[in-house]
Structure 1
Amino acid sequence: MNEQDTTRPDRPVSVEMWSDLGCPWCHIGKHRLERAIAARPDAERFVIRLRSFELNPDASRTPETIETAFRRSHGGDAETVLRAEKHIQALALREGLSFSVDRRNANTGDVHRVTHHAEEAGRGREFFSLVQDRFFAGDIDPFDPEVLVQIAVEVGLSRERVREVLAGDEYAEAVRADRREGRELGAQGVPFVVVDGRLAASGAQSVDAYARMLDQAVPTVSAGVA
């Protein structure tokens, strides 16, 4: 990309975020990123796209407790799991986000597949965000296909078409391709954010850290150059 393109104040800037539904840091990080963008006078030029990154593609489709899933992956006892959950809950509440420690965990592939379908209609971020927000609030079971169908309908998708997607394996390769691309770019986990295809950040950064990253991507705007 040449310098003229980089400094154009009206040039759209891509913001890609690799995440997984069950990742609490993705939930917090996404909202922090959105806040950093919304605070800018040129917020409309930043185009956010959520990318798929299944942390455990082999996870069971049968929902289980967070404790069971955590102890299988990280070890520890019930007290350790609850302490970690309470810590993240406190952070989320300070961000103004609902956070239930009684959520369940299961394979997130279907959520990602429907997100890819929704993205084709320009509704991918809206769909995933609704599912994620309600999941962490403890309001829905996102591993129930009919719950995904209902939320898809809420964002304007066809009920019948989404059921068709869920009944097969459409978009499964797109989900895997997203994960491969993320790893190729350096993602070891999520959230993983890439701004303008050239600046990357791992983990849930603070609002200020994301703001600095956006400024670095488009310094002419942050410097007040029109």
Structure 2
Amino acid sequence: MSGEAAATDPDRPVVIEVWADLGCPWCYVGKHRLEKAIAGRPDAERFVVKLRSFELNPDAPHTPETIESAFIRSHGGNAEAVLTAERRIQALAQREGLPFSLDRLNANTFDFHRVVHYADEAGKGLEFFSRAQDRFFAGEIDPFDPDALARVAEEVGLSGQRVREVLATDEYADAVRADGEEGRELGVQGVPFTVFDRRFAASGAQSVDVYAQALEQTVEASASDPAAG
């Protein structure tokens, strides 16, 4: 196939990049809405979702703390205000069929992102991130425990031992930093931040309908200007 023919191929993969962080509740909700929007398309298999690393709170301690403690340490306020906000997001998530535990812990996510890059190198980045995040918000795992991450890795067909090795070193640290830097260059200030085939971007957790519209616009733009993708 010639280069020109490949460029105009209607089945060319459309890459959707999502800058996200593990503990971000809107990343959790937005991820599922984006998945639903893609699943509703007849060409769903054409879309490739790629997770990109972005730390919402790079100064967070490595020792896990409660969500209330983490928010108050970073932003001030009081525990009741934090829990009120959490309950609002919990109700929204549950209306969409997503479990949402209020007993989650918070800690620095840099090491988690390093494991995501190992998983991505093995073709399992999104699957690993999604499984870990879903189980975290369901209150089923402590993702800051190396053994818990190793078990999640094994659930998606990766090596738990390799995860432990990554966590014991600084492997993939440069890749995590590079993702964050690229995100900031693209204008990321918060997550989720979704980039559609490097054509359009959406900040925040959009509705299923808005994601669906963005997917359609991306496909249309790709068809009219394939070389830009």
Matching residue of 2:155 = 154
Find out whether 1:68 has 2:76 as its counterpart: no
User: Structure 1 residue 198: deviation in Å?
Assistant: 1.6
Matching residue of 1:145 = 146
Kept in 2, the 8 Å contact 1:65–1:105? The answer is yes
Matching residue of 1:197 = 198
Matched length: 221
Query: What does 1:100-179 correspond to in 2, within 5 Å?
Result: 100-179=101-180
User: Structure 1 residue 73: deviation in Å?
Assistant: 2.0
User: Residue by residue, what CA displacement relative to the aligned partner does 1:89-108 show, whole Å, maximum 9, x if unpaired?
Assistant: 01100111000011010011
Find out whether 1:89 has 2:90 as its counterpart: yes
- Over the matched positions of the two proteins, sequence identity in percent amounts to 71
Q: Determine the C-alpha separation between the residues in 2 that align with 1:93 and 1:122.
A: 30
Q: Determine the C-alpha separation between the residues in 2 that align with 1:187 and 1:221.
A: 23
Q: TM-score, normalised by structure 1?
A: 0.93
Find out whether 1:216 has 2:224 as its counterpart: no
Matching residue of 1:49 = 50
Gaps of 5+ in 2: 224-229
Q: Determine the C-alpha separation between the residues in 2 that align with 1:180 and 1:59.
A: 18
Q: Determine the C-alpha separation between the residues in 1 that align with 2:130 and 2:176.
A: 17
Q: TM-score, normalised by structure 2?
A: 0.92
Matching residue of 2:38 = 37
Instruction: Tell which deviates more after alignment, 154-163 or 114-123.
Output: 154-163
Q: Determine the C-alpha separation between the residues in 2 that align with 1:25 and 1:64.
A: 20
Gaps of 5+ in 1: none
Q: Determine the C-alpha separation between the residues in 2 that align with 1:124 and 1:130.
A: 10
For the aligned residue pairs, the C-alpha RMSD in angstroms reads 1.9
Matching residue of 2:207 = 206
Q: Determine the C-alpha separation between the residues in 1 that align with 2:12 and 2:20.
A: 26
